[in-house]
Chain A
Amino acid sequence: MRAPVATAVAIVVGLIILLGYFVPVGIVLVLRDVLLGWAIVLAGMAALVGIINLVKVHWRKSTVRGERDPYSPVLLIVFLATVGAGFALGGPSNPTFQQVVNAVQIPVETTLTAVLAIALAYAAMRLLGRRMGLMAIVFVTSTVLYLLLNSGILAVDSGAPALKSALGVLQRLPVAGARGILLGIALGSLTTGLRVLMGVDRPFSG
């Protein structure tokens, strides 16, 4: 067995947390809270370790001979500038520091989302040409229908009760599919948790 200690620790901690849900008394709750506190600290340290690893990797890429990555120095420079600005300006609550986020991060990510919207529109336009079939037609029809519903153009009261009922039915249609997806996710999560608790799956063993 690979990493038996880690497996044993994972199983014991998982059983204590699970037991805290069903038997929220005494020592079980105390142990659960302590373990959850350790998990938050460890997750924070993991984020710090990830940041250090990111700086190390891009430092190596920017200094290695022959295959030098031109974007790595840029990343390092921006990282050091942001950290310096955060420490210098007092953190994210500083309006000046928030301008860095609003002027750099939000436009960049929003631009990527806009490009995604154009790509999706183009793909939906050529969908029937790529794969003509019943499901493709249903998919395109659903896309058009819910674009119309979310646009708000149909949220205008026309005085027709049938329209209201129809809109109500159309709004409920996605719920059935979403429930199926959520039930699948729940069953998958339950199975994964049981496998980890029984030591069948050991994602932490490296």
Chain B
Amino acid sequence: MADILCPMCGKPNPAEAEICWSCQARLKPLQAQQPPDDSVPDWLRDMRAGQEPEEDAPAAEEAAGDADIPDWLARIRQRGQEEGGEPQGQDAESASDMPDWMKDLRAEGQEPAGQSSGDLPAWMKDEAADSSWLNGLREEGPSAPAAPAEGGAENDWLSSLSDWGGDAAPAETPGEPSNAPQAEASQEWGSDLSDWSAAPQQPGQPEAAGSEDWLSALGGGEQEEPPATGAQVFSWDELPEAGHTPGAAMTGQLPDWLGQMANSEAAAGSNPFLGDGEETTPAGEEQQETPAGFGPFSTPPFSDEAPVPELPASDDTPDWLKAFAADLPGGEEPVAGPFPAEDLPEPGEQPQEQPAVMPYENVELPDWLDKAPPAEEKPEQPPALEGGEDLAMAQLPGWLAAMRPVESVVPQNALPAEEDDRVEKSGPLAGLVGALPGESLATRVSKPAAYSARLQVSDRQHQHAALIEEMLGDEARPQAPRGERSHIPERIVRVVIALVLIAALLLPLASNLRSMPLPNLFQPDTVAFQRIVEGLPASAPVLLAVEYEPGLSGEMQLAAAPVVNQLTVRSARLALVSTNPSGPVLAENLLGAAGVRESLLYTNLGFLPGGTAGLQEFASRPRVAMQYGLDGELAWSTEALTGVEEINQFGAVIVLTENAETARAWIEQVQPRLGDVPLLMVVSAQAAPMVQPYIDSGQVQGMVSGMSGGAMYAQITSQGGAWLDYWDAYQFGIFAAIAFILLGGVVQIFSLLFRRPARRKA
């Protein structure tokens, strides 16, 4: 058994349950059973029963039907509007010969609204008396401006029809006033509006029977054959509000059923103005033929000034019209009919055959306007309410919708409102449209859909992404620096340089050619050095500081050997000291290389720690700073240092160093303590430039620099020795280095000169 959902809480309940077990809300509302309306006639009840709520006729059809007004009819309306009234005499004269209904029509069109009630027929008087709303309409009708709410100029004929209808509406209101049920039905004109539309009935007929007869005659087509658009039922929503001009309202809101009714009359041949020879209005052309059929209803009041054309003498003229024509005074004189003479068609002329002058028909329209897209089809309305035939579909007229404060302020396209045509079926809100769907909202709750955060990418997109990534990666990847092009690998060049230098050193040593000339130009510093040593007293104590490193001992030994040899010649007593840990050993090695170790009195004081501070202490107190010699004995008690208490008691201080800093330390820390004792320097070639300023300043009295300085000193003292064996090797090695530097410079210059044009071309 299917469960029903509670409209309030949405929970399922058994089908037979009347209240919700959860919220105690009533599931089967107490729908009031309306008693059968006895006031509704049977025919209307039957018609309602047979009617199916159909969709409203499209508004576009109405607009199109309004626009298809013939020119002649438009002129009739215009003239009728201009001529607001008629002379009373002619009116009275013609009224005597007119049928009653025609008199009523004329009276409605000529007399003011206030006087119309007096000329109304009895049934209409009662109707007018009972229908207060209708009185209100009469009073307001003439005074209120007949401004068209919608349609504008296209609905002129409908406007005139409304004007006329506004006055004639009470007369055309069906229902005999004496008939009580009919009066009640007339008050419920929302449901009996079909009775209102039955106004053009023949007066004088029995009300009950006449009502059905004229309806059968009028709407015979409707009953015998289904209407084109179905019956239209008005609801209270479509009624004009109080104070609103009915005519104005009717102008734009003429229902379709009215036009269809006229078409059906024309189709049934009941139109008194339609000849037999005229073709009935086809279903598809009803929009254009409707004005012809509605001539009497839309005709303005009669005009005496306008000639009345003859009515078309046709055999198809209905009998009632023929009798009407025969009763006219003058027989064949033109009848002062509802149409001006010039506006009426000629006898035998088919009104339908007149070319309908459409607005802007003779005007050349632009192409874009000719090719204007067809009007959008109106979406289908939801199916009619089942089982709710008595409930009218609520539809707000356009003119009334325009007056709504919300819609007049809020733009229509601001917030597209959802059309909720759902009609409440049950409960206290039954019959209302657009009620909040509590049931659907309650049952609409569902688990939200799970959306994947993973990007759905196709294979093609993957390929494109990979391609872009590769392109970007190439751009962002740093370019490896292009190495300098070298025709010859560096390692080979280095090996070649090493081999050439080794060959340049070994070949002279191996050959022992001594081909290179010995120096005979001597430096002044070397000469001064030699002169000071030469001027030392015999057996003078000399302080010899050995401050060079073992790596440069080859150069320093060759430079110092001539000096040590001369000191040996001068029987000098040597005191060896060094601030370098390896210095004492190098000093011993120097004396051994000179071959004077056994023949020379010397004392190796060893290593003097403390750097410059040690030199300062040694210069100020040499006995305290270096009490013991390298052999562990008291140094200052040895024969070599006999008589030496202070540093200025040495005959000379000779510093052997390859380091300019060490030479500077000795000059700065010891030299001030020497007094007149000369400070001499034997330095390597690399330290000579830094010692040269101290020579110029007189702080250093002589200097021998490098192997060349030693060679000069040997040349000055006419000494031989190992330096002669190395002299050729020394010079060849320097020449080889110079050759490499020059060769490399030339090659690089030429390579740059030949490389630049290539770069410019690139």
The chain A residues found within 8 Å of chain B, CB to CB, are 32-33, 36-37, 39-40, 42-44, 47, 90-93, 95, 97-98, 101-102, 105-106, 108-110, 112-113, 117-119, 121-122, 124-129, 132, 140, 143-144, 147-148, 150-157, 164, 167, 171, 174-175, 177-179, 181-182, 185
8 inter-chain pairs at a CB distance below 8 angstroms, sorted by A residue, are: A102-B589, A122-B493, A125-B497, A127-B748, A147-B734, A148-B734, A153-B731, A185-B664
A residues near B516, Cβ cutoff 8 Å: 153
A121-B501, A125-B740, A147-B737 given as contacts; is B521 within 8 A of A157 (CB)?
Answer: yes
Binds A, one of B153-161, B314-322, B685-693: B685-693
A residues near B614, Cβ cutoff 8 Å: 39-40, 43
B residues near A33, Cβ cutoff 8 Å: 617, 620-621, 624
A92-B609 in contact (CB<8A): no
Q: Which 4 interchain pairs have the tightest Cβ spacing?
A: A125-B744, A109-B551, A129-B748, A155-B519
Say if the beta carbon of B552 comes within 8 Å of chain A: yes
A126-B748 in contact (CB<8A): yes
B748-A132 in contact (CB<8A): yes
Q: Which residue of A lies closest to B751 (CB)?
A: A129
- Residue among A127, A164, A182 with most chain B CB within 10 A: A182
Q: Among residues 571 to 620 in chain B, which have CB atoms less than 8 Å away from a CB atom of chain A? A: 581-582, 584-586, 588-589, 592, 604, 606, 608-611, 613-614, 616-617, 620
- Residue among B484, B584, B613, B696 with most chain A CB within 10 A: B613
Task: Please report the C-alpha to C-alpha distance between residue A124 and residue B734 in the assembled complex, in whole angstroms.
Answer: 13
B625-A40 in contact (CB<8A): yes
Point out the residue from B493, B523, B610, B631 that lies within 8 Å of A39, measured CB to CB.
Answer: B610
B300 to chain A, nearest CB (A): 113
Task: Please report the C-alpha to C-alpha distance between residue A157 and residue B617 in the assembled complex, in whole angstroms.
Answer: 46
A residues near B522, Cβ cutoff 8 Å: 155
A residues near B152, Cβ cutoff 8 Å: none
Say if the beta carbon of B494 comes within 8 Å of chain A: yes
Binds A, one of B93-101, B441-449, B704-712: B704-712
Q: Which residue of B lies closest to A150 (CB)?
A: B685
B residues near A124, Cβ cutoff 8 Å: 737, 740-741, 744
A residues near B735, Cβ cutoff 8 Å: 151, 153
A residues near B518, Cβ cutoff 8 Å: 152, 156
B354 to chain A, nearest CB (A): 108
A-B contacts besides A152-B708, A175-B693, 13 pairs, CB < 8 Å: A37-B625, A39-B610, A39-B614, A40-B608, A109-B550, A109-B552, A121-B501, A122-B493, A125-B743, A152-B727, A155-B712, A156-B519, A156-B520
B748-A92 in contact (CB<8A): no
A92-B585, A132-B748, A152-B708 given as contacts; is B692 within 8 A of A174 (CB)?
Answer: yes
B74 to chain A, nearest CB (A): 104
B674 to chain A, nearest CB (A): 16
B residues near A152, Cβ cutoff 8 Å: 518-519, 708, 711-712, 727, 730-731
B519-A122 in contact (CB<8A): no
A residues near B692, Cβ cutoff 8 Å: 174-175, 178
B603 to chain A, nearest CB (A): 10
Say if the beta carbon of B277 comes within 8 Å of chain A: no
B588 to chain A, nearest CB (A): 5
B588-A92 in contact (CB<8A): yes
- Residue among A43, A47, A90, A148 with most chain B CB within 10 A: A43
Point out the residue from B586, B608, B693, B711 that lies within 8 Å of A178, measured CB to CB.
Answer: B693
Say if the beta carbon of B630 comes within 8 Å of chain A: yes
A residues near B494, Cβ cutoff 8 Å: 118-119, 122
B residues near A113, Cβ cutoff 8 Å: 551-552
The chain B residues found within 8 Å of chain A, CB to CB, are 484, 493-494, 497-498, 501, 516-523, 549-554, 581-582, 584-586, 588-589, 592, 604, 606, 608-611, 613-614, 616-617, 620-621, 624-625, 630-632, 664, 685, 689-690, 692-693, 696, 705-706, 708, 711-712, 727, 730-731, 734-735, 737-738, 740-745, 747-749, 751-752
A98-B592 in contact (CB<8A): yes
B588-A175 in contact (CB<8A): no
Q: Which residue of A lies closest to B661 (CB)?
A: A185
A92-B584 in contact (CB<8A): yes
Task: Please report the C-alpha to C-alpha distance between residue A153 and residue B517 in the assembled complex, in whole angstroms.
Answer: 7
B741-A140 in contact (CB<8A): yes
A128-B749 in contact (CB<8A): yes
A40-B609, A125-B740, A127-B745 given as contacts; is B550 within 8 A of A101 (CB)?
Answer: yes
B residues near A47, Cβ cutoff 8 Å: 581, 609
B residues near A121, Cβ cutoff 8 Å: 497, 501, 737, 740-741
A44-B745 in contact (CB<8A): no
B527 to chain A, nearest CB (A): 12
B residues near A39, Cβ cutoff 8 Å: 610, 613-614, 617
Task: Please report the C-alpha to C-alpha distance between residue A127 and residue B747 in the assembled complex, in whole angstroms.
Answer: 11
A40-B617, A150-B706 given as contacts; is B609 within 8 A of A128 (CB)?
Answer: no
Task: Please report the C-alpha to C-alpha distance between residue A107 and residue B549 in the assembled complex, in whole angstroms.
Answer: 12
A8 to chain B, nearest CB (A): 19
A118-B520 in contact (CB<8A): no
A40-B617, A93-B604 given as contacts; is B745 within 8 A of A109 (CB)?
Answer: no
Task: Please report the C-alpha to C-alpha distance between residue A65 and residue B685 in the assembled complex, in whole angstroms.
Answer: 48
A40-B550 in contact (CB<8A): no
Point out the residue from B520, B550, B631, B690 that lies within 8 Å of A157, measured CB to CB.
Answer: B520
Point out the residue from A92, A119, A147, A148 that lies within 8 Å of B604, measured CB to CB.
Answer: A92
- Residue among A43, A92, A127 with most chain B CB within 10 A: A92
A93-B588, A129-B751, A147-B734 given as contacts; is B613 within 8 A of A40 (CB)?
Answer: yes
B737-A156 in contact (CB<8A): no
Q: Which residue of A lies closest to B744 (CB)?
A: A125
A47-B609, A91-B631, A124-B740 given as contacts; is B589 within 8 A of A129 (CB)?
Answer: no
A176 to chain B, nearest CB (A): 9
A residues near B553, Cβ cutoff 8 Å: 106, 109-110
A98-B610 in contact (CB<8A): no
A residues near B611, Cβ cutoff 8 Å: 43
B521-A106 in contact (CB<8A): no
A residues near B664, Cβ cutoff 8 Å: 182, 185
A6 to chain B, nearest CB (A): 17
A204 to chain B, nearest CB (A): 14
Point out the residue from A102, A118, A177, A181 that lies within 8 Å of B497, measured CB to CB.
Answer: A118
Task: Please report the C-alpha to C-alpha distance between residue A121 and residue B733 in the assembled complex, in whole angstroms.
Answer: 11
Task: Please report the C-alpha to C-alpha distance between residue A92 and residue B689 in the assembled complex, in whole angstroms.
Answer: 33
B501-A117 in contact (CB<8A): yes
A residues near B484, Cβ cutoff 8 Å: 129
A117-B501, A155-B708, A156-B519 given as contacts; is B554 within 8 A of A110 (CB)?
Answer: yes
Task: Please report the C-alpha to C-alpha distance between residue A157 and residue B747 in the assembled complex, in whole angstroms.
Answer: 34
B610 to chain A, nearest CB (A): 4
B613 to chain A, nearest CB (A): 4
B residues near A106, Cβ cutoff 8 Å: 550-551, 553, 589
A93 to chain B, nearest CB (A): 5
A105-B734 in contact (CB<8A): no
B744-A37 in contact (CB<8A): no
Q: Which residue of B lies closest to A97 (CB)?
A: B585
Task: Please report the C-alpha to C-alpha distance between residue A179 and residue B692 in the assembled complex, in whole angstroms.
Answer: 9
Q: Which residue of A lies closest to B715 (CB)?
A: A155
- Residue among B501, B609, B664 with most chain A CB within 10 A: B609
Task: Please report the C-alpha to C-alpha distance between residue A95 and residue B591 in the assembled complex, in whole angstroms.
Answer: 12
A122-B493, A125-B743 given as contacts; is B731 within 8 A of A177 (CB)?
Answer: no
Task: Please report the C-alpha to C-alpha distance between residue A41 and residue B725 in the assembled complex, in whole angstroms.
Answer: 44
A residues near B609, Cβ cutoff 8 Å: 40, 43-44, 47
Q: Which residue of A lies closest to B711 (CB)?
A: A152
A43 to chain B, nearest CB (A): 4
A residues near B744, Cβ cutoff 8 Å: 122, 124-129
A118-B589 in contact (CB<8A): no
A177-B689 in contact (CB<8A): yes
A residues near B711, Cβ cutoff 8 Å: 152
Point out the residue from B550, B630, B737 that lies within 8 Å of A92, measured CB to CB.
Answer: B630
Task: Please report the C-alpha to C-alpha distance between residue A174 and residue B521 in the assembled complex, in whole angstroms.
Answer: 19
Task: Please report the C-alpha to C-alpha distance between residue A144 and residue B519 in the assembled complex, in whole angstroms.
Answer: 19
- Residue among A42, A108, A125, A153 with most chain B CB within 10 A: A125
